[in-house]
Structure 1
Amino acid sequence: MPRRYRTLLVAWMLLHGPTVSATETACASADSERERVVCSDATLSTLARTVETLFQKNIAGVPPDAAQQLARNHEYWLNYIERKCGPVARAMNDDQHYTIDDEVKCLRDNYRGEIDRKDPITEYMNGHMFYYISRIDIRPDKDFISTPPENRSELCREADTEEVSLPQLVVTDPQDAQANTHIRSYARLKDIEAQIATPDIPADAPGASMDEGNWTKLIAYTDSLLVLDTATYEYGHGAGTAGTGNHSHFYLMKEGREMPASRVFLAGSHWQAFLSQRAYAELKKRGRVSSPPYFDTINSPKELKKIIVKPENWRFDAQGLTLLFNYDDLQPGFDKLTTVTIPWNELRPYLVKDSPVLDLAHVPATEQP
């Protein structure tokens, strides 16, 4: 029997089998390290059953396409905690004694964290049900384990993690399917899954000795427009700060393409100069730009133009247009998102009259840092 189905069988029997015979049967068929460790500890077995009970309860009544993807999320998570608490932990502690008790504690902590998680499994947007695909992986930091113990830095004693989440609509018509395909492509889901399926990567490969995360949220979905917001996180082990960012994505559903600036702002309206000057004045008041100039910092409205002209740095909601300034945009090494919001009444003279972003005036405002 393929391992995937054995894993599900063990989970089902742990869930439905409080009797000794069912539990013994489930444990007899356990072939993964995590399953064997779970079966060896009564508390851990109880936690595992609780997680499976909650999972089955959560997906009860969920449409089949969503239930299938949510089950895959669960499989990826189980594989993640098995690797995290087993082989990866041992590899990252090869100069210390990592015991079975340590592994049990690690698994207990992760199961408890899953039990305490309060995120809804499905949500609604303009009457459309949607859910999130999530993928997570962990592998030993090859830079660290290949370095002699006496030369290792404790700052780098971390495993490499990669995490991605992205929304998917419960499909009710062809447009929903089109939106889902585009979201998966935009979030590079296939690439992420392929990388997770290849646990051994060279130490000098992109993503080695690094934590990476991409969390994409559904902001708006109408007949004409799909809007996503992606938070990114990149941390090279041992670095002083992490590279973080937020980027928007506007996709014109009927046209099948990303929304260009020309669908938002009037040609010849000098909107670029307006946004640059407006943002610079606000940033200067906050001390986020330099005057007189200092090394490698923004010191004129013109220098903001290359940032503010990109739709990926825009966020529209009930408050108006929020300009996003990410890691290193304003000052080297500054890892906080900086935002400037321009109200709708100031924007309207520059907007295309039938711009699809006008529908976003009803989107609840996002809390800004």
Structure 2
Amino acid sequence: MRRFALILLAFATTVLAVNLPCTPKGPKAAACSDASFAAATAALRKAFRQSEAQLSAAASGQMESDAAEWLAWTQRVCPAGKAECLTPLYRAEEKTIAEGMVRAGGMQFYPRTEYRTAPDPAHTAGEPEHLPGDPGYGVGEFAWPQVDRANERASRWNRAVRTRVAALKRGSAADGDAFEPSPLGGKHEWLSYRVAAANARLIEVTFTQSIFPYGAAHPATKKTQMNWWLPRGREVRAEDVFRPGSGWRPFLARVSYEQLVEMSRRKENPVRIFPEAESRPAAEKAALQTGHWTLLRDGLWVTFPAYSVAAGFYGEPTIFIRWGQLRPYLAAGLDPETLPVRVR
């Protein structure tokens, strides 16, 4: 075990090269003889090398530091170093790196990560086991984007993202569909992101937070949008998009619900929404919140939280409204042609 720990620490200094050797006589020989783990190691090595080629020395150094933390975390979560425990962690890290490297709007986005474990005071079981059982401690996996070689505007966005994520990383508990601050212990928590759109005016990032309290039937998940005006140095407000006093609220609420009804009536892949008494107020409430908006050049996308308008089986339904429909209500300073297009 000590040799395994020392090798992890040695890897940390050059982790962007992902020097994760598998040798027949090494301390990970048992894991390395597993084909799935070997493939996961190779994919992770490739993802790190590709990211290093695209980043500045400063950003590469940050990712090396994060990766060193991740390597130490894998030892805490998989103390025996078994392939069946390590492989999904390596695959998840490869996905985080590969999908987090995004080029959009003339900016290079890269992932920052943090991995934590915390004692679960309520845990009284015997030997810990790997997830999804209760291992006796809480697990946190957090990822967020930053812009490399950032100018003054992008640097302000970088700081704002870190502030937003710091609040999310304090921990949350899923109580039904609600999330409330709580210690990390007693659950597995993930925070991931997707750069939805970006240009010189606007950066839009979707954060997904999932919480799996040990013993629960399934994780609880919520998404929130962070829409940031680069020239204004702040998040998008409703009055940036719609003219106050124009009647946009009742119009957007009505059109959003009508589109949900249409989705429930389509022949292929219908979304069976809840009865109107429940789904209409939930839809109208969500449609009016900027955290559920994605502003793209071709129109406005509104995402409804899971379980708000339909069963969890349907995920988070999304509707689309073209700017032409919304033109009578748009703010004078909003030119849809200057908005970004969806990334990928």
**In which range does the TM-score fall when normalised by the shorter chain?**
0.7 to 0.9
Tell me the TM-score normalised to structure 2 length.
0.73
Distance 2:226 2:156 in 1: 15
| Rounded Cα–Cα distance in structure 1 between residues aligned with 2:20 and 2:218 | 48
Q: AA paired with 2:202? A: L
Pair 1:320 & 2:299 matched? yes
1:77 aligns with 2:48: no
The structural deviation recorded for 1:215 is 1.4
Q: Percent identity?
A: 19
Cα offset, 1:165, TM superposition:
1.3
Alpha-carbon distance in 2 for matches of 1:155, 1:61: 35
The answer to whether the 8 Å contact 2:44/2:93 transfers is: no
1:57 matched to 2:57? The reply is: no
Q: Computing the radius of gyration over CA atoms, which structure comes out larger, 1 or 2?
A: 1
* Residue 188 of structure 1: aligned partner: 166
Alignment check: 8 A CA contact 1:280 1:289 kept: no
Partner of 1:109: 87
Gaps of 5+ in 2: 172-180, 265-271
- Maintained 8 Å contact 1:263/1:356: no
Rounded to whole Å, the distance in 1 between the matches of 2:284 and 2:88 is 45
Distance, in Å, in 1 between the alignment partners of 2:145 and 2:256 is 31
1:346 aligned residue (325, 330, 334): 325
Q: Does 1:9 align with 2:27?
A: no
Counterparts in 2 of 1:52 and 1:180: CA distance versus 1, 3 Å = same
Mapping for residues 226-265 of structure 1, pairs under 5 Å: 226-265=203-242
Q: Deviation per CA, 1:17-72, whole angstroms, max 9, x where unpaired? A: 99x9xx99xx9xxxxxxxxx43898759x959968864763324631121012112
CA positional deviation for 1:280: 1.8
Counterparts of 1:265-344 in structure 2, within 5 Å, are 265-285=242-262, 286=264, 287-291=272-276, 293=277, 297-298=278-279, 300=280, 304-330=283-309, 336-344=315-323
Q: CA–CA distance in 2 between the matches of 1:269 and 1:13?
A: 58
- Change in Cα spacing, 1:237 to 1:255, as seen in structure 2 (3 Å) is same
Give the CA deviation at 1:125.
Answer: 0.8
2:104 equivalent among 122, 125, 130: 125
Query: What residue is the counterpart of 1:157 in the other structure?
Result: 134
- Distance in 1, matches of 2:132 and 2:111, equals 32
- Cα–Cα, structure 1 residues 265 and 142, in superposed 2: closer, same or farther, change >3 Å? same
Corresponding residue number in structure 1 for 2:269? none
Indicate the residue corresponding to 1:177 in structure 2: 155
Measured in 2, the distance between the counterparts of 1:252 and 1:115 equals 30
Matched AA of 2:194? K
CA distance in 1, matches of 2:275, 2:261: 7
Contact persistence 1:248–1:315 (CA under 8 A)? yes
The 1:356/1:82 distance shift into structure 2, 3 A limit, reads: farther
Report if the CA contact (8 A) 2:11-2:20 is conserved. Answer: no
In 2, the alpha carbon distance for the partners of 1:49 and 1:345 equals 49
Deviation at 1:211, TM superposition (A): 2.1
Contact 2:110 2:148 in 1 (8 A): yes
Cα shift readout 1:199-223 (whole Å, capped 9, x = no counterpart): xxxxx95333222222122233333
Residue of structure 2 in register with 1:209 after alignment: 186
**Greater RCO, 1 or 2 (C-alpha within 8 Å, sep 6+):** 2
Q: Aligned partners of 1:13, 1:129: CA distance in 2, in Å?
A: 22
Write the deviation string for residues 159-186 of structure 1: whole angstroms up to 9, x where unpaired.
6332221111112422222221111112
Match of 1:38 in 2: 28
**Any idea what the Cα deviations from partners look like across 1:232-278, whole Å, max 9, x if unmatched?**
21222222343222221122223322221011001222111111111
TM-score where L is the length of structure 1: 0.68
Separation in 2 of the partners of 1:315 and 1:238? 35
Unmatched tracts of structure 1, length 5 or more:
28-36, 87-99, 196-203
CA contact (8 A) 2:293 2:302 kept: yes
Tell me how many residue pairs correspond in the alignment: 311
Per-residue deviation, 1:325: 1.1
> Contact 1:319/1:365 (CA < 8 Å) preserved in 2?
no
Provide Cα deviations, 1:273-303, integer angstroms capped at 9, x if missing partner. 1111112222234141414x4xxx23x4x55
C-alpha RMSD over aligned residues: 4.2
Q: Secondary structure of 1:119's partner? A: helix
Q: Which residue of 2 aligns with 1:134?
A: 113
Instruction: Kindly state the Cα deviation for residue 351 of structure 1 after the two structures are TM-superposed.
Output: 1.1
